[in-house]
């Protein structure tokens, strides 16, 4: 068990198995009607797993590329560094990584990077340069600001995670993939979670499968999510997208974040404090009509009654998590102890399923998960 009941008593919660079966049937429908090639789902409450099932062309041993649904794993690394007194998010990034402090970026704080307010959202780092740490640092030095730090919420699609990875290495001496494994996933027995799985370890990773209307002649967008369909790119280990896991370990990761003594409870509480309430901007970050409640590298539902990007609409205000391409989602609700993960490998040509049916699918599935408690 992760939690210390003496310090953090949890209210007893009970899963309604009839509601749980409705959730599973809803996911099964996506497979049976041919919309998705496979899926995995996991539901846990207060350290007890109530469901872990695979559908279609998958087993419970299958791992999925998490895309942006892996951001809360990276967030957990940051929260651990803060818990251990190794990282001060009020400091500038350049105070830890001097190579970063060029072209006006010397004023960017670690907190701004973690909240996607750093002003360099689409800063590039291509393959194979990303494999070489010196090349990564050279890229940092070349990056320029596209907006003043702290003024615009635009998802730093890959740039923020590369900075976080380097911060981890500066303060621990270990690459983020090794630190995650040795310090967090191994002690927690969440062995399917891995950043940048090597080619020899990708046999159980679900391949990307094109989905959509048979008469859709759209070309596959070669960047964005489809970029990671190439095994060598996945192995290169871009931290917040090139991560794999099964649904069970991802849902249990949220359980650990909510309960494990590996993290200081006051740090987790502060990490889930909403720091940014702005519309999400950017080509693939959303539209001005999609509000964002951003904490430290995770989204939070909040209490303003507005529909949020990447989270269910019918759950507690402290619920946190993230969605990911094509229509994956995972979240945890500290007020009930519920955590949930839904993973799939069915990608439309664009990589993101933002069709009416796609949005209905993920909104309905997420809310059915939130409704599993009696």
pLDDT level of residue 285 (50, 70, 90 thresholds): very low
pLDDT tens-digit readout, 299-340: 999 987 665 667 888 888 999 999 999 999 999 999 999 999
pLDDT greater than 70 at residue 12 = no
* Of residues 141 and 221, more confidently modeled: 141
- Indicate the domain borders of the chain: 17-371
pLDDT at 11 over 80: no
Q: How confident is the model at residue 253 (pLDDT cuts 50, 70, 90)?
A: very high
Q: What is the pLDDT of residue 165?
A: 98
For the entire predicted model, the pTM comes to 0.94
What whole-number distance in Å separates Cα of residue 182 and Cα of residue 173?
13
Alpha carbon separation from 24 to 18, 32, 149, 328 (Å, rounded)? 10, 12, 43, 15
Residue with the bigger pLDDT between 214 and 115: it is 115
Q: Tokens 């983020």 identify what position?
A: 176
> pLDDT tens digits, residue range 173-218?
999 999 999 999 999 999 999 999 999 999 999 999 999 877 788 8
Nearest CA-CA partner of 325 in 366, 276, 368, 285: 285
- Give 52's contacts (C-beta < 8 A, 6+ positions apart): 40, 41, 42, 43, 60, 246, 247, 248, 251
Select the more confidently predicted residue: 10 or 323: 323
Show Cβ contacts of residue 246 under 8 Å, excluding neighbours closer than 6 positions. Answer: 40, 42, 52, 60, 61, 62, 63, 64, 192, 343
Architecture label for domain 17-371? 3-Layer(aba) Sandwich (3.40)
Other Cβ atoms less than 10 A from the Cβ of 311: the count is 24
Q: Angle 4-311-90 (CA atoms, 0-180°, nearest 5)?
A: 65
């Amino acid at each position: 068990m992760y939690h210390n009941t003496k310090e953090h008593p949890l209210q007893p919660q009970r899963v309604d198995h009839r509601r749980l079966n409705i959730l599973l049937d809803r996911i099964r429908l996506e497979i049976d009607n041919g919309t998705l090639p496979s899926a995995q789902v996991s539901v846990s409450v207060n350290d007890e797993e109530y469901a872990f099932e695979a559908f279609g062309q998958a087993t419970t041993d299958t791992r999925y590329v998490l895309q942006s649904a892996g951001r809360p794993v990276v967030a957990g690394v940051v929260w651990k560094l803060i818990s251990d007194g190794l990282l001060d998010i009020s400091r500038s990034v350049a105070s830890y990584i001097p190579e970063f402090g060029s072209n006006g970026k010397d004023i960017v704080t670690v907190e701004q990077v973690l909240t996607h307010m750093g002003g360099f959202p689409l800063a590039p780092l291509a393959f194979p340069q990303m494999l070489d740490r010196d090349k990564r640092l050279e890229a940092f030095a070349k990056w320029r600001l596209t907006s003043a730090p702290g003024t615009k919420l635009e998802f730093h699609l890959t740039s923020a995670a590369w900075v976080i990875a380097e911060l981890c290495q500066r303060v621990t001496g270990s690459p983020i993939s090794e630190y995650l494994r040795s310090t967090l996933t191994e002690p927690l027995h969440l062995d399917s979670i891995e950043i940048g799985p090597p080619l020899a370890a990708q046999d159980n990773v679900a391949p990307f499968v094109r989905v959509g209307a048979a008469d859709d002649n759209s070309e596959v967008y070669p960047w964005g999510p489809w970029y990671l369909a190439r095994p060598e790119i996945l192995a290169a280990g871009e931290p917040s997208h090139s991560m794999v896991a099964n649904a069970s370990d991802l849902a249990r990761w949220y359980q650990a974040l909510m309960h494990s003594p590996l993290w200081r409870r006051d740090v987790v509480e502060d990490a889930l404090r909403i720091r940014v309430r702005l519309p999400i901007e950017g080509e693939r970050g959303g539209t001005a009509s999609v509000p964002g409640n951003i904490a430290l590298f995770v989204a939070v539902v909040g209490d303003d009654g507005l529909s949020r990007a990447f989270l269910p609409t019918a759950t507690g205000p402290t619920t946190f998590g993230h969605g990911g391409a094509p229509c994956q989602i995972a979240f945890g609700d500290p007020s009930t102890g519920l955590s949930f993960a839904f993973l799939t490998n069915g990608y439309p040509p664009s990589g993101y399923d933002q069709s009416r049916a796609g949005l209905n699918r993920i909104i309905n599935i997420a809310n059915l998960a939130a409704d599993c408690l009696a």
